[in-house]
Amino acid sequence: MTHSPLAIEATGLVKSYGETRAVDGVDLAVRRGSVYGVLGPNGAGKTTTIRMLATLIRPDAGSARVMGHDIVDEADAVRAAVSLTGQLASVDEDLTGRENLTLLGRLLGLKRPAAKARAAELLDAFGLAEAAGRLVKHYSGGMRRRLDIAASIVVTPELMFLDEPTTGLDPRSRNQVWEIIRAMVAEGTTILLCTQYLEEADQLADGIAVIDHGRVIAEGTPGQLKASVGSGALHVRLLHPDQRPEAEQVLGRELGAVVLEPDPAALSVVCSDADRGAVAIAELARSGVRIADFSLGQSSLDEVFLALTGRPAEAVPGEPDRIEEEHAS
């Protein structure tokens, strides 16, 4: 076993599907014991990257070492060190929660009694003891995700891949999953977390790679990313939501691309210069837009994404529920 301080070192990973370059030269360096966020909108190439690193597909070009092992030449050693929680719930819907965990325990080499005991312990820890004997297809989205994560730690992995663990969950279930992820981090598990939720990466990750169209377009800590697009943002809340288009126009002209916030009366824009911010506010007032309040503060990752790509990240929390849709079809 090599003792690189890195859990993942990827250089120039490429994967094409026909004309689509799903992943187009991705480099990653993930330290052991950290949570690394791969942040990007739907179709950016997150899942394809994870599938290469977890040895499910071979890269067309480039190479990577995961926990010190080459993903192509030492795929078995990689598999023995990692676990995967896929974007589609990676549990068997036609079995019960208990059967799922026991099955995985057996496949990972536990004897039958040990596999059963381990399943019971995990079901307890993840609040699924009561639902243990129920078929997974009758689980709620949150319960399914928790089982999915439990399934990934039947044998404690050195590195865990989490592909959009909270997509499609309601806010309460999302918080529960976040708490579980935090507990795993506290225990020292290295995690590669793919997400389209900027808030999720901000909350959980130590380092973030922003990817778009199969390429890493920015990398750093959440703080560095924010700093790289300017130290702050101007947040404005209007008295009348119907004046937002007008406000967007004025701020866009004065400061650059504007982010429309979930609050229909709020908008924000990257702005590192207080004087220019003040001018923009004055300009707003002059054009007849009524302002409820405004502040100049740190930029959020939403603004980071906008500044990097020139367009907003497509997905925001609370969007239609993709996981549930996939299960319903």
Partner 1 sequence: MSAKPTTHAEPAFAADEAAVRQALSSTPRPPKASALSAALTFGWRGMLKVKHVPEQLLDVTITPVMFVLMFTYLFGGAVAGSTGEYLDYILPGILVMSVLFTTVYSGVAVNTDLTKGVVDRFRSLPIWRPAPLVGSLLGDSVRYVVAGTVIIVLGVILGYRPGAGVVGAVAALALVVVFAFGLSWVFTTLGLLLRSPNAVMNAGFMGIFPLTFLSNVFVDPATLPAALEAFVHVNPISILATASRGLMEGTAEAADIAIVLAVAAALTIVFAPLTTRLYRKA
Ligand X SMILES: Nc1ncnc2c1ncn2[C@@H]1O[C@H](COP(=O)(O)OP(=O)(O)O)[C@@H](O)[C@H]1O
Distance CA 210, CA 314 (A): 14
Q: Among the residues of the chain, which ranges form H helices? A: 46-53, 75-81, 97-107, 112-125, 141-152, 171-186, 198-204, 222-228, 244-255, 274-286, 301-309, 322-328
Contact flag: residue 243 with partner 1 (CB under 8 A): no
Binder of residue 22, out of Mg ion, partner 1, ligand X, none (CB less than 5 to 8 A by kind): ligand X
Please report how close the Cβ of residue 327 comes to ligand X at its closest, in angstroms.
17
Q: Using CB under 8 A, count the residues that bind partner 1.
A: 65
Contact flag: residue 87 with Mg ion (CB under 5 A): yes
Contact flag: residue 95 with partner 1 (CB under 8 A): yes
**Number of residues written out for the chain:** 329
Closer CB to partner 1, 110 or 269, in the complex: 110
Contact flag: residue 46 with ligand X (CB under 6 A): yes
Contact flag: residue 309 with ligand X (CB under 6 A): no
Closer CB to partner 1, 185 or 210, in the complex: 185
Binder of residue 42, out of ligand X, partner 1, Mg ion, none (CB less than 5 to 8 A by kind): ligand X
Among the listed ranges 44-52, 122-130, 137-145, 262-270, the one in contact with ligand X (CB under 6 A) is 44-52
- Residue 290 per-residue DSSP state: P
Contact flag: residue 197 with ligand X (CB under 6 A): no
CA-CA-CA-CA torsion sign (198, 51, 33, 129)? positive
Contact flag: residue 47 with Mg ion (CB under 5 A): yes
Of residues 9, 27, 74, 99, which one binds partner 1 by CB under 8 A?
A: 99
Of residues 10, 24, 35, 48, which one binds ligand X by CB under 6 A?
A: 48
The SS3 of residue 23 is strand
Beta 207-212 vs 35-39: how paired, if at all?
parallel
8 Å CB contact between 8 and 64? yes
Of residues 17, 182, 245, 285, which one binds ligand X by CB under 6 A?
A: 17
Closer CB to partner 1, 86 or 277, in the complex: 86
8 Å CB contact between 190 and 7? yes
Contact flag: residue 45 with ligand X (CB under 6 A): yes
Q: Can you give the three-state secondary structure of 209-229, one letter per residue? A: EEEECCEEEEEECHHHHHHHC
Binder of residue 11, out of ligand X, partner 1, Mg ion, none (CB less than 5 to 8 A by kind): none
- The 10 Å Cβ neighbour count of residue 180 is 19
Q: Angle at CA 307, nearest 5°, toward 161 and 299?
A: 80
Residues contributing to the site for Mg ion (CB under 5 A): 46-47, 87
Which parts of this chain interact with ligand X (CB under 6 A)? 17, 20, 22, 40, 42-48
